[in-house]
Amino acid sequence: MLLALDVGNTNITIGVFDGAELKCTLRITTKMPRTSDEYGILLRSLMRDNQINPDDIDAAIISSVVPAIMYSLRNGLYKYLNVDPIVIEPGVKTGIKVVTEAPAQIGSDRIVDAAGAFTKYGGPVLVLDFGTATTYDLVDEKGQFLSGITAPGIRTAAKALWQDAAKLPEIEIKKPASILAKETISSMQAGLVYGQIGQTEYIIDKVKEESGFENLKVVATGGLGAMIAAETRKIDIYDANLTLDGMRFIYEKQRGR
């Protein structure tokens, strides 16, 4: 079985694959400092709680945008699962060719999303990932990563509101009953959610205009992506497991290599 770990700025999303079947998904926080022993024990415990035998794990792959935790995480996998993980970095075969001006600056998380979307849905495709940042990545029909756009994520914007404005409270991020808010909480929710919808639609339209891709598919993933995708017709597909599937595709390319 394959263990796929997507290390983001906020959470580590973990998928366990038996062949092409995603058996379970798990999430743990990224920002809490952990030793290799803590990672290993936690992963084994979480898998057991989800009816996965940790001893059945025979391979692992990691995509990470948080270098500081990698030493402990990799050693936890060595010590407790007896696997040497593939880490997605320059030199790893992904099926995506980055043709931007500074390829090394493109995060592995974005390459993974691009690989997942291109493999599953073909190109040209615009991949939206609603995470700590909201990213928009353009891949053409040849699998070339042409361009990336980065904006603050919804939760990031929300934290800026309640941390930097003394009288604004911490709120649940959800779509309010109406954009015509009549009190503080729903006014913040309206600004955050409808603002994200407006941004999303404008960027999609602008990418289509400037790229000239009339048949561009738009695929979204990431935590709050389902809420945004449900509110606009400009997103064609919401795929909650796009990143994990992308990691599996990349692992299979390495194994085939």
Is 186 in contact with 175 (CB distance < 8 Å)?
Answer: no
Q: Annotated catalytic sites, by residue?
A: 109
Number of residues that this document lists for the chain? 257
Half-sphere exposure of 173 (CA within 13 A, CB side): 21
Would you say the C-alpha torsion 18, 19, 22, 27 has a positive or negative sign? positive
Which 3-state string (H, E, C) describes the chain?
A: CEEEEEECCCEEEEEEEECCEEEEEEEEECCCCCCHHHHHHHHHHHHHHCCCCHHHCCEEEEEECCHHHHHHHHHHHHHHHCCCCEECCCCCCCCCEECCCCHHHCCHHHHHHHHHHHHHHCCCEEEEEECCEEEEEEECCCCEEEEEEEEECHHHHHHHHHHHCCCCCCCCCCCCCCCCCCCHHHHHHHHHHHHHHHHHHHHHHHHHHHHCCCCCEEEEECCCHHHHHCCCCCCCEECCCHHHHHHHHHHHHHHHC
